[in-house]
């Protein structure tokens, strides 16, 4: 018989419970919720699209100028000489620093802070496994990272598809959209793996962040040094040896650039339409070395993370 | 040894302690209070990690903030649970012994001594990372006693110790107090404090609510109302006999009919009257007891008042 | 019906044996798990949850085998760990709801239930604040809340009152007591504070050096032979002791102002004698109860027996 | 007592897990590049090769090592709350800070010098023949102390010290020395390069930018030394004063 006054003391939960498998989605969801709450996330995400914006402004002005001057024929517009996929490559290259900062923001602390807060005790006392945890954390970085890379690229693609079919946008490479979808996955895949590995080795998010930044910058210096060497050799008229081209891609940024060039199948072209600038571009690297290298780095990182995450400290 | 005059300390807008006046001498003094009452702040002020915002605090007549002369005579067991996790317990204490100004050999000998005192001799060579909470507490206590200080401050020292460890530790503190050392123990596990202390300081919301030794506490106990339960086969007769007493506030009978519950304002007078009722009026009782006849209820009474 | 059955459980870490052939039966209701530091209590809890694979022996929890059905067990069990733990960067509501989702609750149900559980745990407006700013007492509450959120059938509490002040302890114990009685929820409490165990538990299991030392109801453990009485005086009184001894009473060493006295006769008679003696020797009787062994004494006896 | 503080800090910094990444960096990256530098800068003589490797790698790694290891002086202890054990001992606070700083800087100098030795060994295929090595080690040691003092002060003043330090090490220290005019005088690296007196990288602008040699760097060795020593002394004295005077408590959890 129902009493008019409800019993508000403790009651058990008897609502629906999903079977205790695949809890990773809950973990990924929370990771994303927490990252997107940070102001920095939105600021750096927006900034990462800046090259697309510059391109749009450039296009706008060129067109205005061309139509106003009028006398100059359509052929003379620099837009007609563009290699379209290289515009995506350049925008990607320009966004790399920002994507790194995003990775630092989202990923560096992800496991390290959990270690500090002993959050694993919470995770593992619930029906979720170490695999759920790793997958969840990985997706928690991968998904936002990929979306941040994808949104401006796809918007730019749509814009170009509408406006510049006459300038060869479609005919240059009809498969561009497929290649783009591949390129978009690169930073998410690499960064979520690397940050998980580094983060899992530390108890403090800041230390993990410091080390991640160290790895990024030191390897970035290699790329910079090789670029300097490549450009100066090319200017001097000599053909830079293979090692220079190879090492150019041996950094966190370089590896992504290598993958992007392989996927887009291009050597790249200069950011500003300088005649003859193409010879300063480090050419597309070997698919057979860098595709396995890229996935090797990801796999190795995940392996490190897997071995570092421990369910319980064994108290002797 | 410790003299506080109008000591206040606040953090930004949050007040830690407010206008504390007290003196702490040799023997064990308990520092009581709820979470957030300012116990830790007061201890941090005394150990010179903080400066009072206003007022004057002296330890051995000196200002304690960052003052090595004070630390030479003071041992401190913080409430934190953090160590150099990759050190062994022994190395940790040894290092702190060196910081106390001991030479390596003296430091090592003294380390072994204090580690033995806290019963960690066999386990001291393991890494602290693998220690249980109780072992961590012991190591923290060991380092507080290293340089044989005159004043020892212990912030929640008994947390995580098992009953055997607690007993050993209280005996150890008792022994130190008998040597004339001043020991200030903060705790909120009252039945333990009751067992070891002679005097206490009670903080509430940053203010000093009560100070005194056991005698003072005793009379405090007597000035607040007591709940007394008398077990007897004739509860109504007992009630009739006792109802005449002026200091009884209320009476209640148990449903089972073999006990009566009284609220009494002046317990001292009441207990004499009860004895009289039993001895002179022939009231038979099986037993009586009061849950309020202890420190815990005084504490509750004072804090809630 | 028993909640957990443990048979000959052996757990080794390397060459260190944490549990050495432990067998016990934990029945419904509230059970206290006692033992000195390092006795294997925490290891037992971790093994029950399937964190640690036992070297040998078997155990079933809520009818599931611990080796075969770890996740199924963890969905029906709530753990409140000893250490402070939380999910960094969340508020209490988020944290508890998240714990519920991890256990398999749908997201909308989890939020609703999180609020409900936080109400039981007495966490008010602070629930919208970041967990990292919490005080010890509040951290304990959210730890309990995250253990309760998915409506477990068995709740494991490791030192639930650690770091709580008297008022907080009171509330926590009251809460544990209320959830463990008549709500279809069994509780295992591991604690060093024996008065706490005494307050909330019906039964205890004493573990030492990885083996079972004693188990039974608290009532049984506390019984003493010979029906002595405890007499509490206002102040210590040697005169009272000598006078009682003159009456033929056996007086045991006092604990503060409480004297344990053995004297033949019904309690009513003894009470009368004691009061008379006290009055004659100028002491005041403050309490008179039939003596029980404190749980602490029972515990110390259990662990020192070889 | 001073000895104990110093030795403990040295041991803490020389823990295997901490040192191994730096040795790896030196033994693989620096040595590898040094051995093959001629490929990247054809026709350059050994001095220029060494100078390029040293400026590009060794000096940047120095800043990185310093940024990461300096946090062990204080920040790590504050964050880990273990600082209370040290602050409540009869040691004057300035001594605590100073000897930990000394130990940390020496370890940083040693690790950076090992990198320099790797660079030299790679270019010269052996340990002899490099007249720059000694000067470089001197510059690295001064640099270790200067970065150490600066980062220590940042650690005393800010909560999120490591991020600030890394931004300084990679942002400020790579950009400012290349700035025109007198801006370059505001970078530690400028003075270190003055002490090391590397030969110019010639017309190669790309490499010059990386080796922080684009700016007008006309500081003499002695000016470099004097400026750095004054800088170090001022910062350390200021830091010690600050540490003695102010409270260093782990962040107060709303008690």
Give me the pLDDT at residue A311, please: 59
Helix/strand/coil for C2: strand
Instruction: Compute the distance between CA of residue C8 and CA of residue B252 in angstroms, rounded to an integer.
Output: 52
Give me the pLDDT at residue A76, please: 57
For residue D234, name the pLDDT band (cuts at 50, 70, 90): very high
Whether residues B80 and D84 touch (CB distance < 8 A) is answered with: yes
B129 touches chain A (CB under 8 A): yes
For residue A23, give the nearest of C16, C102, C147 by CB distance: C102
Best B10, B51, B98 member to test D by mutation, with max D CBs in 10 Å, is B98
Phi, psi torsion values for B261, nearest 5 degrees? -110, 125
Whether residues A127 and C109 touch (CB distance < 8 A) is answered with: no
Q: Which residues pair with C22 in a beta bridge?
A: C9
Instruction: Compute the distance between CA of residue B31 and CA of residue B22 in angstroms, rounded to an integer.
Output: 12
Whether residues A34 and C42 touch (CB distance < 8 A) is answered with: no
> Would strands B182-186 and B151-155 be described as parallel, antiparallel, or unpaired?
parallel
Instruction: Compute the distance between CA of residue C75 and CA of residue B57 in angstroms, rounded to an integer.
Output: 54
Burial label for A4, CB within 10 Å (0-12, 13-18, 19+), is: exposed
Nearby residues of B275 by Cβ (< 8 Å), 6 or more positions away: C275, C278, C279, C284, C285
Quote the Cα angle for D136-D139-D141, to 5°.
Answer: 110
Give me the pLDDT at residue A2, please: 59
Phi, psi torsion values for A58, nearest 5 degrees? -60, -45
Whether residues A315 and B126 touch (CB distance < 8 A) is answered with: no
Per-residue burial over B100-133, b = 16 or more CB atoms within 10 Å of its CB, e = otherwise:
bbbeeeebbebbeebbebbbbeebbeebbebbbb
Instruction: Compute the distance between CA of residue D111 and CA of residue D63 in angstroms, rounded to an integer.
Output: 11
ipTM of this predicted structure: 0.77
Going along chain B from its start, the domains and CATH numbers come out as 2-220 (3.40.50.300), 224-304 (3.30.70.100)
Per-residue burial over B2-41, b = 16 or more CB atoms within 10 Å of its CB, e = otherwise:
bbbeebbbeeeeebbbbebebebebbbbbbbbbbbbbbbb
Instruction: Compute the distance between CA of residue B204 and CA of residue B35 in angstroms, rounded to an integer.
Output: 9
A27 touches chain C (CB under 8 A): yes
Provide the 8-state DSSP code for D150.
H
Pick the residue from chain C with its C-alpha nearest to D251. Answer: C133
Helix/strand/coil for B37: coil
For chain B positions 74-103, those within 8 Å of chain C (CB to CB) are: none
Pick the residue from chain C with its C-alpha nearest to B131. Answer: C38
Average pLDDT of chain B is 85
Q: Which residues from C are below 8 Å from B161, CB to CB? A: 37, 192
B33 touches chain C (CB under 8 A): yes
Q: Is the pLDDT of residue C161 over 60?
A: yes
Whether residues A122 and C102 touch (CB distance < 8 A) is answered with: yes
Residues B116 and B146 sit within 8 Å (Cβ to Cβ):
no
Quote the Cα angle for A60-A61-A67, to 5°.
Answer: 90
Residue A9 CB neighbours (<10 A): 11
Helix/strand/coil for C224: coil
Average pLDDT of chain C is 84
> Would strands B74-77 and B151-155 be described as parallel, antiparallel, or unpaired?
parallel
Burial label for C196, CB within 10 Å (0-12, 13-18, 19+), is: buried
Helix/strand/coil for B258: coil
Q: Which residues from A are below 8 Å from B131, CB to CB? A: 315
Burial label for A275, CB within 10 Å (0-12, 13-18, 19+), is: exposed
Whether residues C88 and A121 touch (CB distance < 8 A) is answered with: no
Nearby residues of C305 by Cβ (< 8 Å), 6 or more positions away: C213
Give me the pLDDT at residue A61, please: 84
From A244's Cα to the closest Cα of chain C, the distance in A is 44
From C260's Cα to the closest Cα of chain A, the distance in A is 41
Residues in chain B: 305
Residues C103 and A138 sit within 8 Å (Cβ to Cβ):
no
Instruction: Compute the distance between CA of residue A246 and CA of residue A252 in angstroms, rounded to an integer.
Output: 13
Instruction: Compute the distance between CA of residue D203 and CA of residue C187 in angstroms, rounded to an integer.
Output: 78
Which residue ranges of chain B lie beneath pLDDT 50? none
Whether residues D254 and C132 touch (CB distance < 8 A) is answered with: no
**Does the residue A127 lie in any domain?**
yes
Helix (H) or strand (E) holding C286: strand C285-290
Give me the pLDDT at residue D253, please: 40
Nearby residues of B174 by Cβ (< 8 Å), 6 or more positions away: B28, B196
Give me the pLDDT at residue A77, please: 66
Instruction: Compute the distance between CA of residue D17 and CA of residue D43 in angstroms, rounded to an integer.
Output: 40
Helix/strand/coil for D2: helix
In angstroms, what CA-CA distances link B147 with B94, B114, B220, C162? 11, 10, 38, 30
Query: Residues of B at the D interface (Cβ-Cβ below 8 Å)?
Result: 11, 14, 16, 35-36, 40-41, 44, 47-51, 66, 68-69, 71-72, 74, 76, 78, 80, 82-84, 86, 95-96, 98-101, 104, 143, 147
Instruction: Compute the distance between CA of residue D176 and CA of residue D170 in angstroms, rounded to an integer.
Output: 10
> Would strands B27-32 and B182-186 be described as parallel, antiparallel, or unpaired?
parallel
Q: Which residues from B are below 8 Å from C163, CB to CB? A: 35, 156, 159
Whether residues A315 and B132 touch (CB distance < 8 A) is answered with: yes
Q: pLDDT for C164-223, tens place per residue?
A: 877 788 888 888 888 888 788 899 999 888 888 888 888 889 888 888 888 888 888 877
Higher pLDDT, D210 or B41: B41
For residue D210, give the nearest of A204, A211, A228 by CB distance: A228
C7 touches chain D (CB under 8 A): no
Q: Which residues from B are below 8 Å from D88, CB to CB? A: 47-49, 71, 74, 76, 78
Q: Which residues from A are below 8 Å from B132, CB to CB? A: 315
From B258's Cα to the closest Cα of chain A, the distance in A is 31
Could you give the number of structural domains in chain A? Answer: 1
Chains sharing 3 or more CB pairs under 8 A with chain C: A, B, D
Give me the pLDDT at residue D254, please: 34
Q: Is the pLDDT of residue D238 over 90?
A: yes
Helix (H) or strand (E) holding D234: helix D221-245
- Domain residue ranges of chain D, discontinuous segments joined by +: 2-245
Q: Which residues from D are below 8 Å from B69, CB to CB? A: 90
Quote the Cα angle for D157-D163-D164, to 5°.
Answer: 50
CA C48, C7, C190, C134: dihedral to nearest 10 degrees? 0
Pick the residue from chain C with its C-alpha nearest to A16. Answer: C105
Q: How many CB pairs under 8 A join B and D?
A: 78
For residue D187, name the pLDDT band (cuts at 50, 70, 90): confident
From A208's Cα to the closest Cα of chain D, the distance in A is 10
Instruction: Compute the distance between CA of residue C81 and CA of residue C177 in angstroms, rounded to an integer.
Output: 18
A118 lies in which domain range? Answer: 24-50+76-308
Whether residues B288 and C234 touch (CB distance < 8 A) is answered with: no
Instruction: Compute the distance between CA of residue D255 and CA of residue D235 in angstroms, rounded to an integer.
Output: 34
**Residues D21-40, mean pLDDT to the nearest whole number:** 86
**Does the residue A18 lie in any domain?**
no
Best A202, A204, A313, A315 member to test B by mutation, with max B CBs in 10 Å, is A315
**Residues C120-134, mean pLDDT to the nearest whole number:** 85
DSSP chain A: ---SS---S-----S----SS-THHHHHHHHHHHHHHSHHHHHHHHHTTHHHHHHHHHHHHHHHHHHHH-SS-GGG-GGGG--HHHHHHHHHHHHHHHHHHHHHHHHTTTTHHHHHHTTHHHHHHTT--HHHHHHHHHHHHHHHHHHHHHHHHHHHHHHHHHH-GGGTHHHH-TTHHHHHHHHHHHHHHHHHHHHHHHHHT-SSHHHHHHHHHHHHHHHHHHHHHHHHHHHHHHHTTPPPPHHHHHHHT-SHHHHHHHHHHHHHT-----SS--TTGGGGSPPP--HHHHHHHHHHHHHHHHHHHHHH--SSPPP-
Helix (H) or strand (E) holding D224: helix D221-245
A12 touches chain D (CB under 8 A): no
Its pTM stands at 0.81
Pick the residue from chain C with its C-alpha nearest to D255. Answer: C135
Give me the pLDDT at residue A198, please: 93
Residues C104 and A17 sit within 8 Å (Cβ to Cβ):
yes
Instruction: Compute the distance between CA of residue D41 and CA of residue D55 in angstroms, rounded to an integer.
Output: 14
Q: Which residues from A are below 8 Å from D55, CB to CB? A: none
Q: Which residues pair with B155 in a beta bridge?
A: B186
Q: Which residues from C are below 8 Å from D254, CB to CB? A: 133-135
Helix (H) or strand (E) holding D205: helix D205-210
Burial label for D145, CB within 10 Å (0-12, 13-18, 19+), is: buried
In angstroms, what CA-CA distances link A242 with A278, D1, D38, D203? 18, 57, 14, 23
In angstroms, what CA-CA distances link C51 with A13, B129, C67, C254? 25, 19, 10, 46
Best C129, C130, C133 member to test D by mutation, with max D CBs in 10 Å, is C133
Residues D32 and B132 sit within 8 Å (Cβ to Cβ):
no
Q: Is the pLDDT of residue C90 over 70?
A: yes
For residue D205, name the pLDDT band (cuts at 50, 70, 90): low
Instruction: Compute the distance between CA of residue C302 and CA of residue C6 in angstroms, rounded to an integer.
Output: 20
Give me the pLDDT at residue C196, please: 87
Instruction: Compute the distance between CA of residue C88 and CA of residue A34 in angstroms, rounded to an integer.
Output: 9
Residue A49 CB neighbours (<10 A): 20
Residues in chain C: 306
Residue A12 CB neighbours (<10 A): 14
Provide the 8-state DSSP code for D179.
S
Whether residues D68 and A211 touch (CB distance < 8 A) is answered with: yes
Give me the pLDDT at residue A285, please: 87
Whether residues C71 and A34 touch (CB distance < 8 A) is answered with: no
pLDDT tens string, chain A, 316 residues long: the values are 456 777 777 788 877 887 777 788 889 999 999 989 888 899 999 999 999 999 888 888 887 877 666 555 555 567 777 788 888 998 998 899 899 989 988 888 889 888 888 888 888 888 888 888 999 999 999 999 999 999 999 999 999 888 888 888 888 888 889 999 999 999 999 999 999 999 998 888 878 888 898 889 888 888 888 888 888 788 777 788 888 888 889 899 999 999 999 998 888 887 776 666 667 788 888 889 999 999 999 999 999 999 888 755 544 3
CA D185, D188, D189, D195: dihedral to nearest 10 degrees? 90
Residue D33 CB neighbours (<10 A): 25
**Does the residue A14 lie in any domain?**
no
């Amino acid at each position: 018989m129902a009493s008019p006054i409800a019993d508000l003391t403790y009651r058990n939960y008897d609502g629906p419970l999903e079977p205790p498998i695949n809890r990773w989605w809950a973990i990924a969801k929370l990771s994303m919720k927490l990252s997107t709450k940070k102001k920095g996330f939105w600021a750096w995400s927006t900034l990462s699209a800046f090259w697309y914006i510059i391109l749009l402004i450039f296009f706008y002005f060129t067109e205005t100028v061309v139509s106003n001057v009028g006398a100059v024929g359509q052929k003379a517009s620099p837009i007609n000489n563009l290699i379209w996929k290289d515009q995506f490559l350049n925008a990607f290259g320009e966004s790399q620093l920002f994507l790194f900062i995003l990775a630092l923001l989202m990923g560096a602390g992800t496991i390290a802070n959990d270690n500090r807060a002993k959050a694993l005790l919470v995770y593992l006392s619930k029906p979720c496994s170490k695999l759920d945890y790793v997958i969840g954390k990985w997706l928690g970085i991968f998904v936002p990272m990929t979306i941040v890379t994808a949104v401006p690229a796809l918007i730019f693609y749509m814009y170009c598809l509408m406006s510049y079919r006459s300038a060869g946008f479609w005919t240059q490479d009809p498969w561009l959209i497929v290649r783009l979808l591949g390129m978009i996955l690169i930073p998410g895949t690499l960064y979520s793996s690397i940050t998980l590995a580094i983060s899992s080795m530390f108890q403090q998010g800041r230390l993990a962040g410091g080390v991640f930044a160290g790895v990024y910058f030191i390897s970035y210096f290699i790329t910079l040094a090789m670029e300097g060497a490549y450009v100066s050799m090319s200017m001097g008229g000599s053909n830079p040896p293979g090692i220079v081209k190879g090492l150019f891609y041996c950094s966190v940024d370089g590896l992504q650039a290598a993958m992007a060039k392989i996927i887009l199948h291009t050597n790249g072209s200069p950011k500003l339409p300088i005649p003859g600038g193409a010879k300063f571009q480090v050419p597309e690297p070997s698919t057979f070395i860098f595709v396995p290298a890229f996935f090797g780095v990801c796999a190795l990182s995940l392996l490190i993370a897997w071995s570092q995450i421990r369910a319980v400290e064994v108290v002797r | 040894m410790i003299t506080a005059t109008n000591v206040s300390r606040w953090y930004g807008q949050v007040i830690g302690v407010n206008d504390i006046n007290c003196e702490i001498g040799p023997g064990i003094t308990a520092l009581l209070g709820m979470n957030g009452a300012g116990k830790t702040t007061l201890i941090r002020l005394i150990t010179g990690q903080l400066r009072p915002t206003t007022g004057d605090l002296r330890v051995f007549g000196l200002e304690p903030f960052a003052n090595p002369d004070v630390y030479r005579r003071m041992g401190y067991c913080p409430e934190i649970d953090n160590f150099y996790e990759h050190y062994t317990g022994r190395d940790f204490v040894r290092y702190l012994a060196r910081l106390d100004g001991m030479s390596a050999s003296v430091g090592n000998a003294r380390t072994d001594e204090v580690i033995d005192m806290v019963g960690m001799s066999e386990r001291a060579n393991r890494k602290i990372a693998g220690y249980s909470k109780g072992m961590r507490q012991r190591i923290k206590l060991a380092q507080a006693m290293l340089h044989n200080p005159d004043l020892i401050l212990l912030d929640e020292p008994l947390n995580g110790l098992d009953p055997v460890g607690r007993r050993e530790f209280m005996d150890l503190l008792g022994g130190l107090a008998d040597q004339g050392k001043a020991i200030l123990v903060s705790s909120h596990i009252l039945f333990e404090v009751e067992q070891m202390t002679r005097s206490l300081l009670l903080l509430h919301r940053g203010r000093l609510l009560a100070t005194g030794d056991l005698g003072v506490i005793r009379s405090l106990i007597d000035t607040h109302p007591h709940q007394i339960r008398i077990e007897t086969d004739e509860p109504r007769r007992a009630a009739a006999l006792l109802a005449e007493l002026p200091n009884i506030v209320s009476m209640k009978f148990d449903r089972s009919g073999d006990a009566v519950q009284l609220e009494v304002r002046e317990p001292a007078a009441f207990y004499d009257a009860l004895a009289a009722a039993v001895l002179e009026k022939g009231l038979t009782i099986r037993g009586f007891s009061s849950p309020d006849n202890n420190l815990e209820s005084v504490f509750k009474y004072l804090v809630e008042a | 019906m028993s909640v957990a059955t443990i048979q000959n459980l052996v757990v080794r870490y390397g060459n260190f044996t944490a549990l050495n052939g432990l067998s016990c039966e934990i029945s419904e209701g509230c059970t206290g798990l006692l033992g000195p530091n390092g006795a294997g209590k925490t290891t037992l809890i971790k093994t029950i949850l399937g964190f640690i694979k036992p070297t040998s022996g078997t155990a079933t929890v809520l009818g599931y085998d611990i080796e075969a059905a770890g996740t199924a067990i963890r969905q029906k069990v709530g753990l409140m760990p000893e250490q402070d733990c939380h999910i960094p960067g969340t508020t209490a509501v988020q944290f508890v709801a998240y714990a519920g989702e991890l256990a398999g609750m749908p997201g909308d149900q989890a939020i609703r239930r999180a609020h409900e559980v936080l109400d039981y745990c007495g966490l008010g407006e602070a629930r919208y604040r970041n967990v990292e700013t919490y005080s010890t007492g509040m951290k304990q509450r959210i730890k309990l809340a995250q253990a309760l959120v998915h409506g477990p059938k068995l709740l494991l509490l490791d030192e639930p009152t650690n770091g709580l002040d008297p008022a907080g302890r009171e509330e926590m114990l009251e809460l544990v007591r209320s959830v463990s009685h008549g709500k279809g929820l069994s509780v295992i409490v591991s604690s060093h504070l024996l008065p706490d165990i005494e307050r909330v538990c019906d039964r205890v299991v004493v573990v030492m050096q990885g083996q079972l030392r004693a188990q039974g109801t608290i009532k049984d453990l506390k019984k003493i032979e010979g029906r002595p009485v405890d007499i509490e005086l206002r102040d210590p009184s040697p005169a009272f002791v000598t006078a009682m001894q003159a009456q033929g009473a056996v007086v045991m060493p006092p604990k503060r102002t409480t004297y344990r006295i053995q004297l033949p006769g019904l309690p009513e008679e003894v009470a009368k004698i004691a009061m008379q003696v006290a009055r004659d020797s100028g002491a005041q009787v403050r309490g008179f109860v039939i003596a029980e062994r404190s749980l602490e004494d029972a515990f110390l006896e259990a662990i020192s027996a070889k | 007592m001073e000895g104990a503080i110093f030795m403990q800090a040295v041991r803490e910094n020389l823990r295997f897990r901490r040192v191994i990444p730096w040795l790896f960096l030196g033994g693989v990256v620096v040595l590898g590049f040094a051995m093959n530098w001629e490929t990247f800068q054809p026709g350059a003589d050994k001095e220029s090769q060494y100078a390029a490797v040293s400026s590009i790698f060794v000096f940047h790694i120095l800043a990185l090592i310093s940024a990461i290891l300096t946090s062990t002086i204080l920040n790590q202890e504050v964050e880990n709350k273990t600082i209370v054990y040290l602050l409540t001992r009869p040691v004057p606070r300035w001594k605590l800070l100073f000897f930990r700083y000394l130990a940390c800087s020496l370890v940083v100098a040693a690790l950076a010098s090992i990198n320099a030795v790797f660079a030299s060994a790679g270019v010269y295929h052996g340990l002899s023949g490099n007249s720059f090595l000694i000067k470089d080690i001197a510059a690295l040691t001064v640099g270790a102390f200067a970065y150490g003092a600066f980062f220590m002060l940042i650690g005393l003043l800010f909560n999120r010290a490591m991020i600030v330090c890394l931004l300084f090490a990679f942002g400020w220290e790579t950009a400012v020395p290349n700035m025109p005019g007198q801006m370059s005088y505001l970078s530690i690296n400028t003075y270190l390069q003055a002490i090391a007196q590397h030969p110019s990288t010639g017309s190669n602008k790309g490499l010059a930018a990386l080796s922080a040699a684009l700016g007008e760097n006309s500081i003499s060795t002695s000016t470099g030394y004097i400026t750095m020593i004054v800088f170090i002394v001022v910062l350390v004295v200021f830091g010690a004063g600050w540490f003695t005077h102010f409270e260093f408590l782990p962040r107060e959890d709303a008690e």
